[in-house]
Each structure stands twice: as C-alpha cells, then as structure tokens.
Amino acid sequence: MASGKIPFGFALPQVSPTEPVDIEPIGHVARRAEELGFQSLWTLDQVLGGSRNLEPVSLLSYVAALTTRVRLGTAVFVLPQHNPVQLAKDLATLDVLSGGRVDAGFGIGNENPPHDAAFGIPSGRRVKRMTESLAVMHALWSERKASYDGEFFQLKDIRMEPKPVQQPGPPIWFGGRVEPALRRAVRLGDAWMGPGSSSIDEFREHVAILRRALDEQDRDPATFTLSKRLYLAIDDDRGRAEGRLREWFAHVYGSADLANQVAVWGPASYINERIAEVIDIGAEHMLLHPVFDFDEHLDALSHWAG
C-alpha cells in the first residue's frame, strides 16, 4: 500500500448495552462518521452467546441506506459457522445495495466444541471448511455458472445473480493471529486485520511474520493491506475507563482481564500516541473501536479521519 496518511475505519455500536436494542445510535454514528471523513465502518460476527450482538449483513444493509461513500466491513465472519452459498448471496446483495462498498472479512474463529456442534462443524476441520467456503463464494461471485467439488460443498453449473458490483468480488480481509493463519491470509486475501483481542506488541510480531510471508510468496506488499483493530477508551479518569472496558470485555469476550491485555485507555494525548505507535509498526489501515460514548470518541478521534 502507498505511503502517506492511512485510512481509518470506525466501529459501529453493534453490541447493545440495553434491552430492547436501540438502533438510533447506530444510524447516528454511521452518518456522523461519514461526515467526519472516516473511510469505513465495521462490524464483528457473533452468532451465539449472551451479548446483544446484531447480525452483520442486516446491520450493514441498514447503514448502507443511510450513507453514500463510507465502505462497509465485516471483521470478521467466523466463516465455518456460515453456509457459503447463502453468505455469498447476502454479501452480493449488500454490495449491490451499497453501490460496491463491501469489504468482506473472514476467519476460522476459536475452537468451541458446543458452538461447533451447533453448526455441525466436525472437530479439527474448521480450516478446511473455511477454505472450501471461500472457493465456493469466489465461484458464485465471479462465474456465470459455478462448479465446485469439495469435502463439504459441491456445486455443478449453479448460477447466482446478481453478482457483486465489485468484481471478481468484494475485497477479502482476514483475521487470525497464529502463523499458519497469517500465511493463509497472504495466500488467499487482499488484506489482514490484526484482531482487537491481540495487543500492540503482538501486532508487531504479526507484521514481521506477514512481511516475511509476502516476500516468500513473491507478493507485492502494495497488493496487501495491513490493518489493526484497536479497542480504546478516551477518559482522563483512567480508573473509570478501565472499569467500563472490563465490563464490556466480560460481556462480549467472556473475559474482563482481556481488556487489560489488549485495550488502551486514558487521556486523548495517550491514545493518540498509541495510534501513532501502531502506524509506526506498519499499519496501513486502522479500525478505531471504542466500546462506549461513541459520539464523544468520534469527535475526539476525527483528526485522524479528516
């Protein structure tokens, strides 16, 4: 990716702290982020669990109707938990509705036997299921009649219309943090986003692995974007910010302690230093992800987007 000012994305308030879910803040954040110049808006994927987490494609379809320019990303779909034929259709429809603004992020997720059983995922087969799913989706997006013969999925002269506006399909982003996943991202994807559940120090290690993989696979680094999701909280009262982050992480990730390991919090000057650190490490795109007071964070972080 070319040097210079990098694009910044902003996380939608997808996880509702209230019941019933209030969608008004989502629309407000989407419109305001676009006005301020943020390049993209992002969701995550969590089908099962106790957090009130809205489904990404439906949510982004709502946001697409409220915006005209900002790109719409998923970081990331836990792809083994989804039927690739249906997801290909859903994302193609979103790409059409948005005028070609979709960034499609995928990963294998963490092994969770009860959840894997709920989705019919055989033990130890998540990687194979994901790579087959990607092949199926690519075929449906780009070929007039798609055929595929795999272990999990079989297509023979199957048509799917309409195709995505972006051809041969939306840009493919990957998550992942272990070396095989990082190398797979370079081999199969257009971009990689460092998980929010990894620290800045871990991001440094991941970037080194990815750069080696790009070199070993003889791939032009300009064709592959390095990104990082950064959980953050701007608050002069560090204790209050830490407590609110821990509460959110316990609700979404099931671990309050993870907040202390991966998030950054404190005065705006400190947060700006951490963002600059991530860029210095090699980020060519960043997803800024507050977990509360979204309006205040939009204003405080807008200088990065403008």
Cβ contact 90:79 at 8 Å: no
The DSSP result for 167-217, as a single string, is: SS-SPEEE---SHHHHHHHHHH-SEEEE-TTS-HHHHHHHHHHHHHHHHHT
**pLDDT digit string (tens) for 257-269?**
999 999 999 999 9
* Alpha helices (runs of H) in the chain, residue ranges in sequence order: 24-36, 56-66, 84-97, 113-118, 126-142, 179-188, 200-216, 238-252, 257-262, 268-281, 294-305
* Amino acid in the structure at residue 22: D
pLDDT score of 3: 39
The DSSP result for 19-53, as a single string, is: SS---HHHHHHHHHHHHHT-SEEEE----SSSS-B
The confidence band for 2, taking pLDDT boundaries of 50, 70 and 90, is: very low
State the chain's mean pLDDT as an integer: 96
DSSP 108: -
Q: Topology of domain 8-305, per CATH?
A: TIM Barrel (3.20.20)
Q: Can you tell me the mean pLDDT for 292-305? A: 97
Q: Which two tokens stand for residue 57?
A: 């494609």
**pTM for the predicted model, two decimal places:** 0.95
**pLDDT digit string (tens) for 172-209?**
999 999 999 999 999 999 999 999 999 999 999 999 99
**Residue 215 predicted with pLDDT over 80:** yes
Cβ contact 133:105 at 8 Å: no
Domain boundaries, the chain: 8-305
Distance spanning both ends of the chain, measured CA to CA: 19
Q: Which two tokens stand for residue 89?
A: 């259709």
Q: Can you tell me the mean pLDDT for 219-234? A: 99
